[in-house]
Amino acid sequence: MKMRRRAGNVFALLLRAGFAWTLAIALLAPAGFTAAQESSGTEKKVKTRRPHWDPPDVDRAFHTHGASPPCVLSAVLEEAGARADEMVNSLQDFTAQERIEYRMLGNILNPLGGGIGVFDYTVTFERRSDGLSVQEGRVPERGSSAFPVSAQDVGLPEIALIFHSDFRDDYELKCEGAGNWNGQPTWVVHFQQRRDKQSKTASFGDKGTVYPVRLKGRAWIARESGEVVHLETGLMEALPAINVQEWYLSIDYAPVQFLTRDVRIWLPETVDAYCNFGLHRTISYHTFTNFLLFSVQTDEVIGKPQNP
């Protein structure tokens, strides 16, 4: 997958075994950088949050609901895998409106800059002989301007595909028990890259050198449908060679109904991203609304994802 050349280091995250996605983050930005503020109209739609360093703790102990039935991992993975298959079969190009709140912090968490921007977010799926390639892009809307976080290509629509049959054998998977996410009964599955498997899920790229990385995290999977409704992930170990100390994502999913094809796809609604590069850290909050599906027959505007 080709990536645009950028100044400074670049973090590239690739899924390879049949699918591909990239994450590119400029690791260096001028101190005191401030992005243009978004228009007041959009500001009324989404209340501004206060970004602070609070990445998910994917290693914390999980306590299951005691009165819940036992979790059968094979059954949970079968359901989650079926939903992943449906997503792959239903994927089409789409756009959405994306709002990003961004902060850069020093190594003692002192603020260095930040801002808010609104972007036209596009996702393009290309089916190739070696699998599915996914490209993302952002164009600032009027009143906003590009800033370092807006240059990332994060592969958010398809990160839950780690439960697809092509990928899940690369992970140690454990059902930790019953949980609840936003009032929805779930099974909580912990995943971690297997040590006896070569890492083919993720890699960092820096000046032509590729550094494979291993991921770990948790997914909250709806008990009734097998849909991933929430996912948290991070690195199993740091990469001192390129000053990548920590990287985390916390993703909330919601269903988007595409009426023209009578399909419902669970896509990210909000994403919190935390990156620790040693000398500085970045925090970004992403919110997606107003999905537009591109079909060979018609275009259809879809509103903000709604909880089932």
**pLDDT over 70, % of the chain:** 69
Give Dmax (Cα) for the chain: 54
Q: What is the pLDDT of residue 151?
A: 57
- Per DSSP, the three-state class of 74 is helix
User: Could you tell me if 144 and 35 are in contact, meaning their C-beta atoms sit under 8 angstroms apart?
Assistant: yes
Question: pLDDT confidence of 217, banded at 50, 70, 90?
Answer: very high
Cβ neighbour number for residue 61 with a 10 Å cutoff: 6
Cβ neighbour number for residue 258 with a 10 Å cutoff: 17
Reported as a single tens digit per residue, the pLDDT across 83-106 is 988 887 776 678 888 998 989 889
Cα distance between residue 82 and residue 98, in whole Å: 28
Tokens of 282: 């970045």
* Dihedral sign (CA 98, 245, 107, 54): positive
Reported as a single tens digit per residue, the pLDDT across 244-272 is 899 999 999 999 887 666 778 888 999 99
Of residues 221 and 1, more confidence is placed in 221
Does 24 score more than 60 pLDDT? Answer: no
With CA atoms as reference, report the closest residue to 87 among 153, 121, 134: 134
Comparing 17-26, 49-58, 143-152, 173-182, the range with the smallest average pLDDT is 17-26
Cα distance between residue 13 and residue 211, in whole Å: 10
Does 21 score more than 70 pLDDT? Answer: no
Cα distance between residue 239 and residue 261, in whole Å: 44
Amino acid, single-letter form, for residue 248: Y
Amino acid, single-letter form, for residue 43: E
HSE-CB of 173 using CA atoms within 13 angstroms: 23
Tokens of 192: 């971690």
Does 14 score more than 70 pLDDT? Answer: no
Q: What is the mean pLDDT of the chain?
A: 75
Q: Outline where the chain has alpha helix (H).
A: 40-45, 73-90
Reported as a single tens digit per residue, the pLDDT across 108-146 is 888 888 888 899 888 877 767 766 667 778 888 877 776
Q: Which domains does the chain have, with CATH numbers?
A: 19-40+52-293 (2.50.20)
Q: Which value, in Å, is the radius of gyration of the alpha carbons in the chain? A: 19
With CA atoms as reference, report the closest residue to 38 among 180, 137, 142: 142
Question: pLDDT confidence of 23, banded at 50, 70, 90?
Answer: very low
Comparing 18-32, 78-92, 230-244, 271-285, the range with the smallest average pLDDT is 18-32
With CA atoms as reference, report the closest residue to 159 among 86, 244, 253, 75: 253
Does 154 score more than 70 pLDDT? Answer: no
Of residues 181 and 291, more confidence is placed in 181
Pairing state of beta strands 228-235 and 215-222? antiparallel
Question: pLDDT confidence of 80, banded at 50, 70, 90?
Answer: very high
Most confident option among 46-60, 130-144, 225-239 = 225-239
Reported as a single tens digit per residue, the pLDDT across 113-122 is 888 889 988 8
Segment 212-218 mean pLDDT: 91
Of residues 19 and 33, more confidence is placed in 19
Cα distance between residue 246 and residue 164, in whole Å: 26
Transcribe 77-111 into DSSP letters.
Answer: HHHHHHHHHHHHHH---EEEEEEEEEEEEETTS-E
Q: What is the pLDDT of residue 89?
A: 76
Question: pLDDT confidence of 180, banded at 50, 70, 90?
Answer: very high
Q: What pTM was computed for the model?
A: 0.79
Question: Which residues make beta-bridge pairs with 175?
Answer: 189
Cα distance between residue 92 and residue 89, in whole Å: 9
Transcribe 26-67 into DSSP letters.
Answer: B----TT-BPPPPPHHHHHHSPPP--------TTS-----TT
Does 5 score more than 60 pLDDT? Answer: no
